[in-house]
Amino acid sequence: MGLDIALIQMDITYGDPVQNKKKVEEHFKNFATDNPVDVVVLPELWTTGYDLTRLDEIADDNGTDAINFLSNLATKYDVTIIAGSIAKKLDNDITNTMLVINRKGELIKEYSKAHLFRLMNEEKHLIEGNDDGIFQLENHRSAGVICYDIRFPEWIRTHMLNDTKLLFVVAEWPEPRIDHWKALLISRAIENQCFVIACNRVGSDPNNEFGGNSMIIGPWGEVIAEAQNKETILYGHIDVDQVDKVRKTIPIFTDRRPDLYKLN
């Protein structure tokens, strides 16, 4: 089965959810006229950026505003939206939470970032998530993770068991470590024999420069599509059935020895 995917590699306006929603709406209009797509992916914290010190003011209560906004877009354009992540306010806590909205405008998954990135002070303003990112996309078992999560291959492998074929990664990955971004994404695709669909942001905030280079990678580790470091929509077509062919060629999931894999 084929899926046409659009990754919105955008520059995020620091601490301004209203402006960022306007940007996303404009990008949707653009791809709607350029190419019909099945899935749209947004970057991490696309409503606020890393304006962490103001999250009490600008975080989304229960994600309600973002969910309503995205639901309208999903039904209007007949797409599934892997909606990057938002700062979601829950009583006295705030999470960095991915939202997945299907074509009917229904929220089908929330995943809160499990590994908080101390170099950007996430642990001072956010709480860790404790649930997985597994969901169904067009009858395909899929998974979503957020940025720093990809440095933890055991967490990714946990998601890729039981016939998971698609891994969505959303990020605000800094420019100085963009080579790590590329190498880690390709490695996750090869070792899990899956498609990796990764959307990063571009631009800057008061403390960081971000590296773009959003990518769509096949289960052999081949780069299907890659953006540069500028605001753009990255398009790619994937044949999900290719995963089964690769996994039959080199049966790493059958040959696993989980009895030996005791992690401390």
Q: What's the pLDDT at 34?
A: 66
Written as six digits, the tokens of 82 are 């892997």
Query: In terms of DSSP bridges, do strands 86-90 and 60-61 run parallel, antiparallel, or are they unpaired?
Result: parallel
Query: Percent of the chain, pLDDT > 90?
Result: 94
Collapsed DSSP state (helix, strand, coil) of residue 97? strand
Written as six digits, the tokens of 248 are 């039959």
Asked, for residue 100, whether it belongs to a domain, the answer is: yes
Asked, for residue 101, whether it belongs to a domain, the answer is: yes
Q: What is the DSSP letter of 127?
A: -
CA-to-CA dists, residue 253 to 133, 145, 184, 186, angstroms = 20, 21, 20, 18
pLDDT band at 199 (very low <50, low <70, confident <90, very high): very high
Which range marks the domain in which residue 216 is found? 2-253
Q: Mind telling me the catalytic residues? A: 44, 113, 147
Domain count, the chain: 1
Written as six digits, the tokens of 35 are 């190419």
Beta bridge partners of 5: 39, 236
pLDDT tens, position by position, 145-161: 999 999 999 999 999 99
Dihedral sign for Cα 29, 31, 34, 39, please.
negative
Secondary-structure percent of the chain, ordered helix, strand, coil, rounded to 5: 35, 30, 35
| pLDDT greater than 80 at residue 244 | yes
CA-to-CA dists, residue 222 to 182, 188, 195, 238, angstroms = 12, 12, 10, 12
Of 105 and 34, the structure prediction assigns the larger pLDDT to 105
Q: What's the pLDDT at 121?
A: 93
Asked, for residue 243, whether it belongs to a domain, the answer is: yes
Q: Which residues contact 185 (CB under 8 A, 6 or more apart)?
A: 150, 169, 196, 198, 215, 217
pLDDT tens, position by position, 3-41: 999 999 999 999 999 999 999 999 998 876 667 899 999
Structure-token match 């877009």, residue found:
73
The answer to whether the beta carbons of residues 120 and 113 sit under 8 Å apart is no
Give the CATH number, domain containing residue 109. 3.60.110.10
| pLDDT greater than 70 at residue 141 | yes
d(CA 126, CA 55): 9
Asked, for residue 85, whether it belongs to a domain, the answer is: yes
pLDDT band at 200 (very low <50, low <70, confident <90, very high): very high
Residue range 184-191: average pLDDT?
98
Amino acid making up residue 145: V
pLDDT tens, position by position, 169-178: 999 999 999 9
DSSP characters for 63-87?
Answer: THHHHHHHHHHHHHHT-EEE---EE
Asked, for residue 33, whether it belongs to a domain, the answer is: yes
Asked, for residue 261, whether it belongs to a domain, the answer is: no
